[in-house]
Structure 1
Amino acid sequence: MKKNIVLSLLLVFSLAVVAQDNQTGENKIVTLTSKSYEQETLKGLVLVDYWAVWCGPCRKMEPILKQIAAETDVKVGKLNVDDYKAVARAKDVSTIPTMIIYKDGKEVQRLVGVYAKDELLKVLNNYK
């Protein structure tokens, strides 16, 4: 009986977490890897965030990127520079946070540093 109650509570908790992620846009953020990078940036408007866990400014950008993913049709991708150093070097990223905007596979703009949501939306709207 206790096992069923625990399982039921876990299910309810899991559903609540999924619902919360849907509201924040986290489920719309794509985690990029060296293998998926080119494919994920090939079509449409894509904002790629180069970040690291230890980077304070990167953490400031996280809720803004979640909101943009939730509220727009822009694909948001995140690439951890500690996990994919070769990709960061190949894309000439030496400072984080760096965000690269792609339109149909072509880099159209590069942003370095922290941006307010309205500033970032203004830049993205130039490419819609």
Structure 2
Amino acid sequence: MTVQLTDSNFKEEISKGLVFVDFWAEWCGPCRMLSPVLDELSEELEGKVTIAKLNIEENRNTASEFGIMSIPTMILFQDGKPLEKVMGFQPKENLKQYLESKLV
């Protein structure tokens, strides 16, 4: 299950382990296409990677802090530190390979 992030719980939720955060908005078509892909990956990678989502319309402070200019943008965090940014819609297999490559 994906974790719903807000400005108030963001720092705590990304502080432990590998967390892949999707910055999205309701009105974004590619974001809506990506949502079920991330839900599936969340189940398949449970216990290895946490998949989380942050609605940028409702949580502008965090989106601004990470310089989110276009969506969907995903950032991979390790123990609270941003590692890499992935931009735009990505097919499930690409994202799965990417995340599995970070589990070393």
Larger Rg: 1
Please point out which of 85, 98, 101 is paired with 1:110: 85
Q: Going by fraction, where is strand more abundant, 1 or 2?
A: 2
Contact 1:103/1:127 (CA < 8 Å) preserved in 2? no
Q: Which has the higher helix share?
A: 1
Unaligned runs of 5+ in 2: none
Where relative contact order (Cα < 8 A, 6+ residues apart) is larger, the structure is 2
Q: Which runs of 5+ in 1 are unaligned?
A: 1-27
Overall identity of the aligned pairs, in % = 38
Runs of 4+ in structure 1 displaced over 2 angstroms? none
1:55 counterpart = 2:28? yes
- What RMSD in Å do the two structures reach over aligned CA positions? 0.8
Deviation per CA, 1:23-51, whole angstroms, max 9, x where unpaired? xxxxx211101111011101111110000
Q: Name 2:39's counterpart in structure 1.
A: 66
Deviation at 1:71, TM superposition (A): 0.7
1:41 aligns with 2:14: yes
The number of residue pairs the alignment matches comes to 101
The answer on whether the counterparts of 1:49 and 1:77 sit within 8 Å (CA) in structure 2 is yes
